[in-house]
Amino acid sequence: MRLSIKDILTATGGRLHAGSDKHAVTGVTIDSRQVTDGSLFIPLVGTQCDGHAFLIDALHNGAAAVLAQKGHASLESGKSFPDTGAVIMVDDPLQALGDLAAYWRKRFPIKLIAVTGSNGKTTTKEMAWQILSQKHVTLKNQGNWNNLIGLPLSLFQMDDSTEIALLEMGMSERGEIRRLAEISRPDIGLITNVGPAHLEQLKTIEAIQSAKAELFESLDSSSTAIINADDHRVAGLAGRTQARVVSFGIGQGDIRAENIRDDNCSGVAFDLVLAGEASPVRLNIPGRHSVSNALAAAALAATAGLSLHDIVSGLESFSGVPGRMETITLDDITILNDAYNANPTSMHVSLNVLAGMRSANKRIAVLGDMLELGDMSTQFHEEIGKTVAQLNLDYLFAIGDFSKAVQGGALSGGMDSEHIIICDTLEALSKHLSKQIEPGDALLLKGSRRMNMDKIITLLQQQKEIHC
């Protein structure tokens, strides 16, 4: 990477406050501890920390330039900045981060793919990357770098070797997807599905649909919008884009799955139909919902020009994403670690995967709260409890502020009260669980990220060591 100070001033509309415009920037960071010679340090203001407190440290550590918000106290305090780098004033550092990423993105006339949706977007992105990277140098955003901070930082990783960029887009309010699309200028956009996530902020499923639609609305006539034909809320967005529309679905769509064969917990197979050709595919991850993610990834790859053979090869080499229906074996107990996040739709999907494991001795659901559901939180948790009962799962363990609602739903669905255990802490839950589980059992861990349900795996391992 190489940007001049003049490039940064042009991209951000900033003004040189101190230092020289002769420096060259060779990297961008928002963490002063990661500053190296040639870095541009962008100080963001968070709930716990204000990056402006580290401007001088960044310059001492070799930063070629730092941004600062106009009128910020750090500029009015009378402190003198070292003359080792440039100090550039901008209206808003977060806005400047995105503007600079957009400026950098324009230097690369490559195909850029954007993926969003209420569920499955990370798995779809990773599946698509597995396919695309067989033939192309493909950039993807790492982990949860899918927001107004992470996506711009991902774009700065593009260089002359990059052939395709594959970016996941997350959002929690209206306007975020539009801004992310403005920064990244996607050529291909895909919405996996629309479900009840972020209701606390957006209030209604219709508002969520409109927020996701911002991706399609940002595409021009030279672009491609990929829709999930199985989701009527996504399919209904086809008329809200100028782009060419490609569809995928189970039994319907331009790219579709037929003859699905579910192989308990070890995987799922189906016939992939694309452009009049069909090929069998076996996924090494469980659940029929994985087929929809695979179809979405196949649609992305096909739109990017890959062959059916390459698509099948990539899908079959995909081994899953940690924390998302990740299968772990502990003393002949099968653990489905789906604890990365949760909303009502993904919770129902995961519970159905557990219910489908009919060869298990006992099927045990270990559930934490689903967060950010607003006024409907209690209702959604009651429905999850009722689902556990209706699926005839053997035991329910629940933790969190809404655990009583889950319990109430399970009882109303006819589940035996002796098979429902409510705990206040993960430690207490793991102790009760360790007494209940036996070899041959299947265990689902599911809850929103802040519930830290995956810690139960470590706690169970520790309980095993104590018993030994």
Can you give the pLDDT at residue 467? 43
- Please state the rounded mean pLDDT for residues 199-228: 95
Residue 303 exposed, middle or buried by CB count within 10 Å (0-12, 13-18, 19+): buried
- Please state the rounded mean pLDDT for residues 84-99: 96
CA dist 292 and 268 (Å) reads: 11
Can you give the pLDDT at residue 468? 33
Per DSSP, the residues of 264-328 read TTTEEEEEEEETTEEEEEEESS-STHHHHHHHHHHHHHHHTT--HHHHHHHHHT---BTTBSEEE
Rg of the chain, C-alpha, whole Å: 24
Interval 349-367: pLDDT, tens: 999 999 999 899 999 999 9
268 forms bridges with which residues in the sheet? 262, 283
**3-class DSSP state for residue 52?**
helix
CB under 8 Å to 274, separation ≥6 — which residues?
Answer: 254, 255, 298, 302, 308, 311
Can you give the pLDDT at residue 143? 83
- Cα atoms found within 13 Å of the Cα of residue 323, Cβ hemisphere only: 15
pTM: 0.92
Can you give the pLDDT at residue 81? 83
pLDDT cut 90: percent of the chain above it: 87
CB under 8 Å to 236, separation ≥6 — which residues?
Answer: 209
Q: How confident is the model at residue 390 (pLDDT cuts 50, 70, 90)?
A: very high
Q: How confident is the model at residue 466 (pLDDT cuts 50, 70, 90)?
A: very low
Can you give the pLDDT at residue 264? 61
Can you give the pLDDT at residue 77? 58
Q: How confident is the model at residue 265 (pLDDT cuts 50, 70, 90)?
A: low
Can you give the pLDDT at residue 314? 98
Residue 463: its H or E element: helix 455-467
- Please state the rounded mean pLDDT for residues 329-337: 93
Can you give the pLDDT at residue 75? 73
CA dist 386 and 388 (Å) reads: 5
Q: Which runs of consecutive H residues, i.e. helices, occur in 137-288? A: 150-155, 176-184, 199-202, 205-217, 232-235
Q: How confident is the model at residue 266 (pLDDT cuts 50, 70, 90)?
A: confident
CA dist 338 and 283 (Å) reads: 17
Interval 107-119: pLDDT, tens: 999 999 999 999 9
28: nearest Cα among 156, 184, 144, 165: 156
Q: Average pLDDT of the chain?
A: 94
CA angle 313/131/145 to nearest 5° reads 145
CA dist 259 and 281 (Å) reads: 11
Name residue, tokens 């998302």: 324
Torsion of CA 297, 300, 304, 310, to 10 degrees: 20
297: nearest Cα among 316, 280, 269, 323: 316
- Please state the rounded mean pLDDT for residues 64-90: 85
How many CB atoms are closer than 10 A to CB 156?
18
16: nearest Cα among 77, 67, 71, 75: 67
Residue 10 exposed, middle or buried by CB count within 10 Å (0-12, 13-18, 19+): middle
CB under 8 Å to 46, separation ≥6 — which residues?
Answer: none
341: nearest Cα among 443, 262, 454, 240: 454
283: nearest Cα among 309, 263, 259, 301: 263
- Is the pLDDT at 460 greater than 70? The verdict is yes
Interval 421-450: pLDDT, tens: 999 999 999 999 999 999 999 999 999 999
Interval 395-405: pLDDT, tens: 999 999 999 99
Interval 164-197: pLDDT, tens: 999 999 998 999 999 999 999 999 999 999 999 8
Under a CB-based contact definition with an 8 Å cutoff, are residues 128 and 113 in contact? yes
How far lies 444's CA from each of 125, 363, 452, in Å? 23, 8, 14
Domains of the chain: 3-94 (3.40.1390.10), 108-316 (3.40.1190.10), 326-467 (3.90.190.20)
